[in-house]
Amino acid sequence: MTRREFLEASLASALLAPPAGALDPNRLPKFVDRLSIPRLAQRAGFKTSPFAPGRLIPAYRLPMRAIQRKIHRDLPPTRMWGFDATSPGPTIETRRGEPLLVEWANELPDKHFLPIDHSLHGAGREVPEVRTIVHVHGGRVPPESDGYPENWYTPGKSVTSFYPNQQDATMLWYHDHAMGITRLNMFAGLFGLYLIRDEEEDALNLPKGQYEIPLILYDRSLRTDGQLFYPVSGDPAKPWVSEFFGQAILVNGALFPFLDVEPRRYRFRLLNASNSRFYYLSLSSKQPFWQIGSDQGLLSAPVALEHLTLAPGERADVILDFAAARGQRVVLSSDRYTILEFRVWSTSGIAAVPIPGRLRTIQRINEQEAVKTRLLSLDGGDSDDPTLVMPMLLNGAFWHDPVTENPTLDTVEIWSLINTTDDSHPIHLHLVRFQILDRRSFDVFTYLNDKELRYTAPAVPPDANEFGWKDVVRADPGMVTRIIVRFEGFAGRYVWHCHVLEHEDFEMMRPYEVVRSH
């Protein structure tokens, strides 16, 4: 989505008649609440590893519960769903190669408080309203622990998942993934962070402790009584809406918070946990974001960015240097949305440790290694009749159609995502990390009519901050976006989908299966 399209989309959603009692967040005083930082999850004890009998590994228990949380000083507490009394949930922190277990307990009420669309696949009246299944986004996890959307369970039940953590240091996140209601469960607050550390990262001597701060961004619509509301279509039998854009941008659960910072370097770990919103972040001081890492870990070298784009599901690891802003206030915003104020102390700066010029070696996967190229279209959503609601599909297939993407374990494939729609879709594959090869515009009309791929311009390389390992890729409208993937780790059933949660819930998600070679 371009910046213009983004603005139009936001405007359109603002016009979607907000209910009586909708809150205009800009009426609230800004920067009256201190930024809160999700606490670390405490392990409940040790249990035997399911894969190494006799080995004891840390075991956590995170119950999902209905909670109340204050979003802003002048608002009453907001009802939401969280993990262990908080939303975002507690941060799980571990190191590479140190496996752990999490018992995800569903202790939610039996009734949902958001508008379920029973006409969506998997969310019919024959299944219970409140269902959850947690997925660790970006984790290389065995299939039975990955949080398959159909493996949901109801209040009173729990599931224990095993996380091997055999992967590079990065910031993953956990969130609900229940079939047909993921957008509502996540909107309710069911997500949190999952940090993996390793020696490669340690050796870089990056800001840590109080100088390393996660920033989880997500937008919400609120009523004047502080309660969440999720919009509905005009059809009570089919309340699903195609995208959600809220006017209140929360960071770590608060609206317009502030953070006191020293005039020095900080490391911020950003996550876009929004349902649909893309962020185009900038700083009032016009200073650059030094991006050092993306979804799946460190880049090879820092990239200076005046604007940082973050699609739903994406993460960015950035260094900000407040040394030159001593005594000033620096505001983080996304287009016309104010997000967070940094209040820089006027004390003298601390001699900055330089940002390492080289972070790590990232071997590009050679295209020659690919044993297969799959052409996969992103379709639908458009109809000349605006009252007709159309699902969005991956390669023309519905969720319940047989598996068509069945890569062989330990082989490399190229997936060409042919976006025939007017939207940018952030595409995410479970289990794997991948690299972006390029994006290239094509003639959509010819493709839709004759299935012929006619390129209209040369291929463009990924953005400078997209050369690292990724697990979400922006598939822009009218473009073929190519990614190269090595399917490694585990064989079995996983999913790939659009991370715009409204799309994901309405058929823009497909199972895929990694198969063993014979």
Can residue 65 be called a binding residue for ligand C2O (CB under 6 A)?
Answer: no
Return the DSSP state at 125: T
- With contacts defined by CB under 6 A, how many residues of the chain interact with ligand C2O? 10
Per CB under 6 A, 482 contacts ligand C2O = no
Instruction: Pick the binder of Cu ion from 188, 498, 501, 514 (CB under 5 A).
Output: 498
Residues in region 380-439 near ligand C2O by CB under 6 A: 428, 430
Please report how many Cα atoms fall inside a 13 Å half-sphere around the Cα of residue 387, on the Cβ side: 3
Which of ligand C2O, Cu ion, none has residue 498 at its interface (CB below 5 to 8 Å by kind)? Cu ion
Based on CB atoms, which residue is closest to Cu ion, 78 or 419?
419
Query: From the centroid of its chain, how far is CA 199?
Result: 25
State the Cα–Cα distance between residues 135 and 159, nearest whole angstrom: 11
CA distance 210 to 244: 34
Q: What residues form DSSP beta bridges with 393? A: 379
Q: Which stretch binds Cu ion (CB under 5 A): 24-32, 119-127, 417-425, 446-454?
A: 417-425
Identify how many contiguous H helices and E strands the chain contains and give both numbers. 5, 31
Asked if 137 is part of the footprint of ligand C2O (rule: CB under 6 A), the reply reads yes
Window of 279-287, 403-411, 483-491, 495-503 that interacts with ligand C2O by CB under 6 A: 495-503
Q: How far is the CB of 9 from ligand C2O (least distance, A)?
A: 21
Give which of ligand C2O, Cu ion, none residue 500 binds (C-beta under 5 to 8 Å, depending on kind).
Answer: Cu ion
**Nearer to ligand C2O among residue 314 and residue 317 (C-beta):** 314
- Two tokens at 71? 């979003």
Full 3-state SS string of 45-99? EEEECCCCCCCEEEEEEEEEEEEEECCCCCCCCEEEEEECCECCEEEEEEECCCC
CA distance 301 to 260: 28
Q: Give yes or no for residue 470 binding ligand C2O (CB under 6 A).
A: no
Report the nearest approach of ligand C2O to the CB of residue 58 (Å): 23
Measured between alpha carbons, how far is residue 97 from residues 115, 252, 322, 359 in Å?
41, 28, 35, 21
**Site for ligand C2O contains 192 (CB under 6 A):** no
CA angle, corner 34, sides to 264 and 83, nearest 5? 110
The closest residue (CB) to ligand C2O is 137
CB burial of 155-177 (b: ≥16 within 10 Å; e: otherwise) equals beebbebbbbbebbbbbbbbbbb
Return the number of the residue (9 or 141) whose C-beta is nearest ligand C2O.
141
264 near ligand C2O (CB under 6 A): no
Nearest distance from residue 137's CB to ligand C2O, in Å? 3
Where along the sequence are the contacts to Cu ion (CB under 5 A)? 425, 498, 500, 503
Where along the sequence are the contacts to ligand C2O (CB under 6 A)? 135, 137, 175, 177, 313, 428, 430, 495, 497, 499
